[in-house]
Amino acid sequence: QASAKVAESNRFSIIDTYLMATAYSDTVGRNGPVCIYSNGTTCIGAIKRLWIDENGLFSHPASSHAVTNTCIKDIQSIKGRKFVERIAWKKAGKQLPKAECIASRRAEARVNERIDERADKALAEANEKFQQKIRRPLVERKLFPEDVKFTSGEQSMHVRSMQSGTSLIA
């Protein structure tokens, strides 16, 4: 689920974009002489802050937090040895918290990378359009406002600009 919220700022118009997701996995891993069958659930929350000023749209890198819970369904020895399976169950139980932590950090890195990649592409396109269709034509004609200020409140974004001709007081 994705959503966005305007954040308060006196210097920029700020939009915080949020992503909440749950990923489910059903995996088979091999570790030495055993196969480990497990299910996993990873809950992910991510945020990407965008801001707008007179020069265009910009963003901070995405930031996320993930929590992975894994349930080992079965461990089977490749050669059918029960004592190997018993040892593997004990070892897996001890290593499970570390494995869940590693899976969580990897999920965060993947989500951050994907969000940044997609947002960077969209921001580049939006900035190119802004420069070509709005800013550059106004600057070339010396019509770009002298004073432009972007701000945002809890539920709104504001743009204030002032432009005057040479013969006007203000």
* pLDDT tens digit sequence for 15-64: 999 999 999 999 999 988 999 999 999 999 999 999 999 999 999 999 99
pLDDT, position 95: 94
Q: pTM for the complete prediction?
A: 0.81
3-state secondary structure of 113: helix
Distance CA 41, CA 67 (A): 8
On the question of pLDDT at 168 being above 80, the answer is: no
Query: Could you tell me which of 23, 37, 36 has the C-alpha nearest to residue 106?
Result: 23
Please report how many Cα atoms fall inside a 13 Å half-sphere around the Cα of residue 9, on the Cβ side: 21
On the question of pLDDT at 166 being above 80, the answer is: no
pLDDT, position 145: 87
Percent of the chain with pLDDT over 70: 96
Mean pLDDT of 135-163: 89
